Chains A and B, each alone.
Chain A
């Protein structure tokens, strides 16, 4: 087993521990103060994994679907660590850690990742920028989906008058979640825009189906952000649309 796989396993185990410890902590009625530290450790091993794969590829490691999923998980963790402190960091970690775990477990499915990654020929800065900013954009959009899920949980509890339990107590108020959701969508969409422009400027054009998928997703997010800004959207619709769009874009980029 190469060092890259060892780092990946370590970060996945740590993310799973963060998820389980966080969930148990909330269930027992305590704030999960350690989640952020677990997630910092996850981030460190993700970085080591990506550095190792980058060395082997001699380029940004985004050459197979396993690497794409790992880059996405890293990007999600990065935005959690950057944005989480704005509000209830530990609880956002409790929601983020399972998503990171699932993404990395999906990357570990046999066949998803090249066992012997070959160095990439003819790397180009525009292409690298396209890949990296797009993935960072998806990280922000992934965290937006996590925030949307937190809103849906809170909304369900408020609507159902189920206000018992630590989860309700620790979830941030509705406006905090919706404002974070909006900002993350804007950030993800802006990064996606840069990624698309960089892809367009790359000397070797990206495959047509990749280009069309990218534009379609970009337009869908633009429509969501625009509708919310111009007309307004109820929190539930806004959140559901964010989650569905992220799932669709994930499927498109990992499997198409």
Chain B
């Protein structure tokens, strides 16, 4: 019996190909079960996320299993075998177990070290377990992968720091306000970037959100999407005394938030911290605002730079993570992986 993996991911296939092979979360168990009906397949787990679809298989005859799986996929999607070979990768024995451990550890993710993948693989494995499509080989491979994944995440800095502008902003907001449940946010300009950033704050518990946009209809639309309130663009400064975070991303050719506006409301705000996030180019917020004592001003370049630094730091951890994975896999001698390279 040997372990192998056939799959595609964001590196080998564009989204229009990945979506053809995607399996809905609710279908993962039945898909795994269906694979057991193919020639040469004894155990199967199907993993499908937005960035990958992978089939982990245990087989007494891997070439037969692989051929039947390829034919099945070709028939199901209408793509030729050549097309499949172009986008799919395959790993066998030890390398398949190593790949699984890397995926669980977030080393194979688009955002290096991201944590969501761990839960997604667990869900896929749980679905397979429920449908009784696993036995000794895959059970051991997945259980060890989860153990190793945890070890990698706790013993290295692979998931440290925020790697997106939205998350950097949220982390900063949490440092400035502790938690966000009492924080009120105003979004100036209803662009995509400000929406994403505001959404990140809301998802971490921001109390309320105001949206101001030159087009009031668009402001209402965005406010409705985020469960907030639209404010007329020429009246946004009236809520400045009550908000804690200002996210600005308008297309204005000059600054729209000036230091004197903040000076005017300092007393009413009782000098409590104000976090200004300027993600517009040209900048919406006059840099002089950042000189006010309780104001923390971050522009898009700074946020991008912080996210870049976190990504670079994570990259430096890859080798250390791989060493842990190799060492742990060699230690546990998984069944179906004896064909060590």
Contact = CB atoms under 8 A, between A and B. Distances in A.
B272 A159 contact: no
A158 B174 contact: no
Interface residues of A, number: 18
Interface residues of B, number: 20
A158 B176 contact: yes
Contacts of A204: none
Contact of A234 (B175, B177, B294, B298): B294
Contacts of A168: 175
A234 B309 contact: no
A158 B271 contact: no
Given A161-B298, A232-B270, A237 B293 contact: yes
A158 B296 contact: yes
B282 interface: no
A31 interface: no
Given A164-B309, A175-B177, A235 B290 contact: no
Interface string A226-241: 0000011111110000
B178 A236 contact: no
A232 B178 contact: no
Nearest to B301: A161
Contacts of B267: 231-232
B296 A159 contact: yes
B271 A233 contact: yes
Contacts of B293: 234-237
A120 interface: no
Interface string B148-191: 00000000000000000000000010111110000000000000
A231 B270 contact: yes
5 contacts: A158-B175, A161-B306, A175-B177, A234-B271, A236-B294
Interface of B: 172, 174-178, 267, 269-273, 290, 293-294, 296, 298, 302, 306, 309
In the complex, the 9 A-B pairs of residues with the closest C-beta atoms, listed nearest first: A232-B270, A234-B293, A173-B178, A234-B271, A175-B178, A234-B294, A232-B271, A236-B293, A173-B175
Contacts of A236: 293-294
Given A232-B270, A236-B293, A174 B298 contact: no
A235 B274 CA distance: 12
Contacts of B176: 158, 173-174
A235 B293 CA distance: 8
A109 to B, nearest CB: 38
B294 A173 contact: no
A6 B269 CA distance: 53
Nearest to B305: A161
Most-contacted residue by chain A among B174, B177, B271 (CB, 10 A): B271
Contact of A235 (B172, B273, B309): B273
A174 B271 contact: no
A78 to B, nearest CB: 26
Given A159-B290, A159-B296, A237-B293, A173 B177 contact: yes
Residue with the greatest number of chain B CB neighbours at <10 A, chosen from A168, A232, A236: A232
A234 B273 CA distance: 8
Contact of B175 (A161, A164, A174, A235): A174
B262 to A, nearest CB: 12
Contacts of B272: 232
A216 interface: no
A176 B294 CA distance: 15
Nearest to A159: B296
A159 B175 CA distance: 12
B225 to A, nearest CB: 29
Given A158-B172, A159-B296, 7 more contacts: A158-B296, A163-B306, A231-B270, A232-B272, A234-B294, A236-B293, A237-B293
Contacts of B270: 231-232
Given A232-B270, A232-B272, A234-B293, A176 B309 contact: no
Interface string A158-188: 1101011000100001111000000000000
Nearest to B309: A164
A135 B52 CA distance: 65
A53 to B, nearest CB: 42
Contacts of B309: 164
Contacts of B174: 173
B150 to A, nearest CB: 19
B254 to A, nearest CB: 24
A226 B272 CA distance: 16
Nearest to A176: B178
